[in-house]
Amino acid sequence: MNKFKLNINGEQHTVNVDSDTPLLWVIRDTLGYTGTKFGCGRGLCGACTIHLDGEATRSCVTSIDMVEDDSEITTIEGLSEDNPHPVQLAWLEEDVPQCGYCQPGQIMTASAFLKRNPNPDETDIDSAMKMNICRCGTYPQIKKAIFRAANNAQSSAGGDDE
Partner 1 sequence: MNRRDFIKVVSTAGSGFALGFYIPYTNKLNGKIVASTIFEPNAWIKIKSDNMVQIMVAKSEMGQGVLTSLPMIIAEEMDLDWSKVVVEKAPADKKKYGWQMTGGSNSVSSGWQKLREAGAIAREMLVMAAAQEWGILSSECKTHNGIVTHESTGRELSYGDLAKKASLQKVPKNPKLKAKRDFSIIGQNMKRTDTLPKVNGTAQFALDVQLDGMLYATVVHSPVFGGKLKSFNEASVNDISGVTKIFEIENGLAIVARNTWAALKAKKQIEINWDEGEAAGLDSEKIRKDLLDASKEKGGVVRKEGNVKKALKSSKNQIEAIYESPLQAHATMEPMNCTAYVQRDKCQVWAGTQDPNGARKIASKITGLSKKQVEVNVTFLGGGFGRRAFNDFVKEAVEISNEMKKPVKLTWSREEDMQHDYYRPPSLHVMKGAFDQNNNLSVWKHRITAPSILFSQILKMPFPYKEKIDIIAVEGAKHLPYEIPNMQVDFQMTKSSIPLGWWRSVYDSQNAFANECFMDELAEKAGKDPAQFRLDLLPKSSRDARVIKRVMEKSGWDNFNNGSSYQGISCHKSFGTWVAQVARVSVKGNKVKVHEIHCAVDCGIVINPSIVMAQISGAIIYGLSATLKSKITIKNGRVVQSNFDDFEVLRMNETPEIHVYLIESDEPPSGVGEPGLPPTAPAVVNAIFAATGKRIRELPVQLS
Interaction of residue 138 with partner 1, rule CB under 8 A: yes
Find all residues with CB under 8 Å of 60, minimum gap 6, and list them: 22, 23, 24, 38, 39, 40, 41, 42, 43, 48
Contact 57, 46 (CB under 8 A): no
Task: Identify which of residues 12 and 123 has a Cβ nearer to partner 1 in the complex.
Answer: 123
CA distance 102 to 46: 8
Interaction of residue 121 with partner 1, rule CB under 8 A: no
Task: Identify which of residues 52 and 113 has a Cβ nearer to partner 1 in the complex.
Answer: 113
Task: Identify which of residues 10 and 84 has a Cβ nearer to partner 1 in the complex.
Answer: 84
Residue 12 CB, nearest approach to partner 1 (Å):
20
| 3-class DSSP state of 6 | strand
Residue 126 CB, nearest approach to partner 1 (Å):
4
Interaction of residue 152 with partner 1, rule CB under 8 A: no
Contact 101, 47 (CB under 8 A): yes
CA dihedral (129, 130, 134, 137) positive or negative: positive
Interaction of residue 21 with partner 1, rule CB under 8 A: yes
Please identify which residue in 6, 17, 73, 112 interacts with partner 1, judged by CB under 8 A: 17
Question: Per CB under 8 A, which of residues 37..76 are in contact with partner 1?
Answer: 37-42, 44-45, 47, 75-76
Interaction of residue 98 with partner 1, rule CB under 8 A: yes
Amino acid letter for position 18: D
